[in-house]
């Protein structure tokens, strides 16, 4: 039976009452799991061998807090798994839709069986619900969350407003999260390793040069800079860059003259973009295939 689309994040906490008996480490069940369980009036809970259950292979979460898992495992030894996992039946195993933390903690606790509720879903619905369930539970690090948002936008052709509605976040929060993916990959890894906070990372987005961005991130970590200090540092870097560009107006005039001479020779717009005094990039524009062929003939001659 297909999962209902839309509205996953709009006030559905009342679907399953909280009996107040959730043990330490096992968080209150959130929106996605409740929506899945509401599809049928009386979900049937069954027990299956724990080694027959596997995580969803498109699971966005890659890193788990071992201390939190151990706490949950201790709770499961005492109380058992109070909330069944939501799974999809595959050919030779059950894929977890919601509840991977409980599954991992149950394995740590030494359980041989685990309670599940089996749901029929398409592969698309499985991935979408798994993504939303993980975002709702707030167990993803900022980069994993940003990747999950991007997948919802690209793979499921959702608009940012729709993503925000499904995960009970504002559109601005979704946008700001995905901006983190513009960071250098090394800086993203520092966030995953909890060496940088989201506030630090957002300040670093103002630095366009990847190497300078990474070097600044290393300085933040080594010197234990606050977000306010990083914002001031980045602002000063921007001022120095501007000052450097305006240092030599005579050289600027030389390059402008070169552009005009190349434009006259080629008969089209030419731009010289300097990285520094020694290197840069020349851009030559063309507006048709015929003009491109004409330019090629000039170069060949």
The two three-digit tokens of residue 227, written as one number: 């977000």
* Pairing outcome for strands 113-118 and 280-284: unpaired
Q: Which helix (H) or strand (E) holds 54?
A: strand 53-54
Q: Which domains does the chain have, with CATH numbers?
A: 13-139 (3.90.1530.30), 188-245 (no CATH), 249-300 (no CATH)
**pLDDT over 80 (residue 258):** yes
Given the residues 100, 128, 145, 162, select the one marked as catalytic. Answer: 100
Contact predicate 97/176, CB 8 Å: no
> Of the given ranges (23-27, 62-66, 122-126), which has the lowest mean pLDDT?
23-27
Question: Any catalytic annotation for residue 100?
Answer: yes
For the segment 15-29, what is each residue's pLDDT rounded down to a tens digit? 333 444 444 444 444
% of residues, the chain, pLDDT over 70? 77
For the segment 73-101, what is each residue's pLDDT rounded down to a tens digit? 999 998 999 889 888 888 888 888 888 88
Distance (Å, whole) CA 141 – CA 129 = 18
pTM of the predicted model as reported, rounded to 2 decimal places? 0.51
CB atoms within 10 A of CB 22: 15
For 178, 226, 271, 295, the CA distances from 198, given in Å and listed in that order, are 12, 12, 37, 48
């Amino acid at each position: 039976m297909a999962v209902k689309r839309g509205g996953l994040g709009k006030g559905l906490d009342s679907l399953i009452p909280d009996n107040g008996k959730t043990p330490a480490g096992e968080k209150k069940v959130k929106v996605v799991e409740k929506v899945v369980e509401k599809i049928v009036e009386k979900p049937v809970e069954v027990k299956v061998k724990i080694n027959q259950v596997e995580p969803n292979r498109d699971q966005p979460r890659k890193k788990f807090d071992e201390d939190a898992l151990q706490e949950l495992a201790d709770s499961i030894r005492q109380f058992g798994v109070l909330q069944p996992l939501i799974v999809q039946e595959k050919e030779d195993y059950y894929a977890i839709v919601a509840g991977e933390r409980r599954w991992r903690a149950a394995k740590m606790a030494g359980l041989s069986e685990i309670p599940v509720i089996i749901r029929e879903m398409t592969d698309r619905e499985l991935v979408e619900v798994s993504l939303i369930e993980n975002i709702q539970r707030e167990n993803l690090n900022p980069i994993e969350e940003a990747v999950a948002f991007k997948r919802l936008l690209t793979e499921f052709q959702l608009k940012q407003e729709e993503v925000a509605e499904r995960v009970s976040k504002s559109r601005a929060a979704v946008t700001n999260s995905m901006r983190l993916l513009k960071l250098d990959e090394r800086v993203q890894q520092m966030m995953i390793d909890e060496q940088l906070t989201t506030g630090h990372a957002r300040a670093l987005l103002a630095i366009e040069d990847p190497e300078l961005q990474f070097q600044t991130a290393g300085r933040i970590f080594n010197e234990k800079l606050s977000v306010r200090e990083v914002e001031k540092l980045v602002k000063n870097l921007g001022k120095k860059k501007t000052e450097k560009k305006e240092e030599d107006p005579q050289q600027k005039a030389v390059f402008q003259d070169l552009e005009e001479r190349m434009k006259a020779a080629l008969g089209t717009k030419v731009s010289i973009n300097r990285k520094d005094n020694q290197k840069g990039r020349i851009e030559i524009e063309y507006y048709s295939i015929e003009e491109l062929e004409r330019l090629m003939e000039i170069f060949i001659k």
